Structure 1
Amino acid sequence: MKFNKHLESIKTYEAGKPIELVVREFGIEPKDIVKLASNENPLGCSQKVQDAVSAIVKNMALYPDDSMIKLKAGLSKRFDVEQKNIIIGSGSDQVIEFIIHAKADENTKVLVNSVTFAMYEIYAKHVGAQIIKTASQEHNLDEFYDLYKKENPSIIFLCTPNNPTGDAIDAADMMSFLEKIDEDTLVVVDGAYMEYAKYADDKKAVEPKELIEKFKNVIYLGTFSKAYGLGGMRTGYGIADELIINELYKLRPPFNITTLSLEAASVALEDEEFVNKSIALNFEQMKRYKEFANEQKLDIIESYTNFVTLCLNQNQNSTKLADDLLRRGMIVRDLAGYGMNAIRVTVGTSEQNDKFFELAKQYL
């Protein structure tokens, strides 16, 4: 049987291992497993969200509101943009898929950072586009511009803060970069962790309204999977000029967001107290990871997210460390697949972090 020839060059995306897998493979009780691999909110989601979702379960026989008016109204108010400038996706990665299929094909190029979210490359390969990567591990906008001038890409992805490293671009530097990009090149600013960056450093704060008012060729992406604690609801969004949104809508399937997801995201957006509490806890606990890295003589990348990247020494091996932790009920992300001898660890609760430090020290 023949398949799309472009699939031959694609390596399946490997998501963070679920707790259920560790239970099956190693016989560890669920209560003894800590998952710090997928950058989920360790506090879960808002109680207001839980109450709201429970109240509408009886309506599951009906299709969701395909206009998504309640969630769009909330996002419109939050970011001071028009509803016509918003598209909702099943996770922001679905919006990424729309973007690739709307703008790229076999004759185009997509420019990404050397270490960044893997789905940019995977979706680009779906359509046979050529991937161009920078040399630097962290976003270097001078490199991006040099490659832009040389390669003339159709799409540029800027992930800030970046996944899986945690570094972020200064907003002023980004605006200067965008001013030099031709209007026919679509620039994607992926702000999945922007709520954390805004809290950590005002200079990293990127505002969607400012982006789309100044640049008609830019789309900003956000998600409810991180700070809002709704990873299981798979809800993300894109904010851009109406022309871009209209083209993406041609690719959006009907009812792509569930009734539960729409309600959860709408209510989560209103509960700022919960989000602020989550972010404050995150950076309070992140200090402990910096102390741990210093004690263990490990490099740690300055993070503006809800995770840290710990870079191991030459006599240590990230894959062995991640496997050793996994067998003892601690799930973290090995970054060997990105060419890094490092692990990415979600910043958890105080108790979860205690367990990570204890187990990691035994290996290190």
Structure 2
Amino acid sequence: MALDIELFRGESRQLVRTEPLISLLKPAFAAETAPFKGSARFVLMLRNDPGPDTYEGDPHLTNLRADFGYIHVKIHMEGRVVHQKPYSVNSLVGPILARLARELAPEERRWAFRIAGLPSPEDDDSAQRLPPVVDGTDDIDTSRSTRLAFGIRPAAEPQIPLLDLTEYGVELTDTEAPVTVLLGAGVRRRLMEMELSTEIEEGGFLVGRAFRRADIPELHAVIVDEVLPAEHSGASLMHFTFTGDSFGAMNRTLGDRQLVGWYHTHLFQTERTIGLSRTDIDLHRDTFRRPWQVAALINLTSRRRVLTCYASSDDWMAPCPIRNLDDDADKHRSTHPSLGHH
């Protein structure tokens, strides 16, 4: 099925241009196709996973079908696949459409676009790792706990100690984010250099210690001491899933430390806006409910990794500043919203 891009101008969203998506994309992949002879055959697969609904470029572009937020591009030349990688729709077509919009009407500041002729989001050929089948489960109605042979009651919340961030080289003017993330010895290197798949998402747990900030006790800080890849997980090109066995295996190694968050990969470049998908946000809010637990995202491409952390903030996921404690703590360096090679 052919995919077209429709470009709309102004607040009235007047349709001004319809172009085949592939014809727009071919120039963007000139470097990937240049070493090969013959014509390129593009295979495009859109994923029904919501992405950012705006491209914050010049000019501003609104994606009217942000529910299909990601696209996998596969290029065939000389009888073989010469390039394949997932992208967010905005990062891939945003710069192309912004340039076209400037050519059509440089004075217009508001534009919108959508991909017409969307295929089914199902892709049976995509790489995936199914989560293992869980055996021996049962549902417990907690409302009947008084009539059960055992009791169920909420566990008492442990006391969260205070932490003076200035002792770790953090300037307090840097952040009023809900959580400040401090990476312990070797953790940044582990995240930046650990072996990760380039075909399916990977993920795991962040283990360490949670604190309240001494200067603003209602805000938190975490020190990440260890990174634990998840066992018994499910994964595909666009999704990562924990299971109960994933948490069981993690708990056996937790000891007196705390589960301060989780991490997973995205196999495309980072967005200027929030990089977590709607699925990621739902997973975090349903599973990692402590206010100091963070979601770490590693945007993974062939040449770089970018680490960004997020924490729950009202009805949103706010970026967290990151301080690498392997740096010289005597020099009060600023925290950063992300680490890695941009």
> What TM-score do you get using the length of structure 2 for normalisation?
0.28
For the pair shown, the structure with the greater C-alpha radius of gyration is 2
Between Structure 1 and Structure 2, the one with more strand by share is: 2
> What TM-score do you get using the length of structure 1 for normalisation?
0.27
Between Structure 1 and Structure 2, the one with more helix by share is: 1
